[in-house]
Amino acid sequence: MTSLTEIKVPDVGNVPSIDVVEVLIKPGDVIALDQTIAALETDKASMELPASAAGTVQQVFVKPGDKVSEGTLIATVLAEDAVVTETKAVVEPVAAPTPAAAPAVAPVQTPAPVVSSVAEPAKAQSAPVAATHINTGKPKPHASPSVRLFARELGVDMNLVSEGSGRKGRILKEDVKRYVKKAMTEGLPGASGGAGIPAIPAVDFSAFGEIETQKLSKIKRLTGQNMSRVWLNLPMVTYHDEADITDMEAFRTQLNSEKGKDEIKITGLLFIIKALVATLQQFPSFNASLSSDGENLILKKYCHIGIAVDTPNGLVVPVIRNANQKSIAELAAELAEKSAKARQGKLMPSDMQGGCMTISSLGGIGGTAFTPIVNAPEVAILGVTRAKMQPVWNGSEFVPRLMLPLDLTYDHRVIDGAEGARFMATLKLYLSDLRRLLL
Confidence of residue 185 (pLDDT cuts 50, 70, 90): low
Read off the pLDDT of each residue in 378-404 and give the average, rounded to a whole number.
96
Question: Domain end: 57, 74, 91, which one?
Answer: 91
- Boundaries of domain holding 412: 235-438
Residue 117: inside a domain? no
Other CB atoms within a 10 A radius of the CB of residue 256 amount to 13
Confidence of residue 150 (pLDDT cuts 50, 70, 90): confident
Considering only residues 258 and 314, tell me which one the structure prediction assigns the higher pLDDT. 258
Residue 119: inside a domain? no
Cα(336)–Cα(340) distance, integer angstroms: 6
User: Residue 85's domain is classified under what CATH number?
Assistant: 2.40.50.100
User: Residue 325's domain is classified under what CATH number?
Assistant: 3.30.559.10
Residue 228: inside a domain? no
pLDDT at position 125 is 37
Question: Domain end: 91, 122, 146, which one?
Answer: 91
Question: Residues 298-348: pLDDT tens digits?
Answer: 999 999 999 999 888 778 899 999 999 999 999 999 999 999 988 888 888
Cα(227)–Cα(220) distance, integer angstroms: 10
Into how many domains does the chain fold?
A: 2
Q: 186-190, 363-367, 376-380, 387-391: lowest mean pLDDT where?
A: 186-190
Read off the pLDDT of each residue in 14-38 and give the average, rounded to a whole number.
87
Give whichever of 107-116, 143-152, 157-166, 411-420 has the largest mean pLDDT.
411-420
Task: Tell whether the model's pLDDT for residue 239 goes beyond 70.
Answer: yes
Question: Residues 90-134: pLDDT tens digits?
Answer: 444 433 343 333 333 333 333 333 333 333 343 333 334 433 344
Task: Tell whether the model's pLDDT for residue 8 goes beyond 60.
Answer: yes
Residue 98: inside a domain? no
Q: In 107-207, which residue ranges form alpha helices assigned H by DSSP? A: 145-154, 173-186
Residue 239: enclosing H or E segment and its boundaries? strand 236-244
Question: Domain end: 60, 91, 122, which one?
Answer: 91
Task: Tell whether the model's pLDDT for residue 426 goes beyond 90.
Answer: yes
pTM, to two decimals: 0.61
Confidence of residue 222 (pLDDT cuts 50, 70, 90): confident
The alpha carbon dihedral of 291, 384, 108, 404 has a sign of negative
Cα(142)–Cα(163) distance, integer angstroms: 9
Residue 52: inside a domain? yes
Residue 73: inside a domain? yes
Residue 136: inside a domain? no
Is-catalytic flag, 412? yes
Task: Tell whether the model's pLDDT for residue 84 goes beyond 90.
Answer: no
* CA–CA–CA angle 187, 141, 188 (5° rounding): 5
In the chain, % of residues over pLDDT 90: 46
pLDDT at position 142 is 75
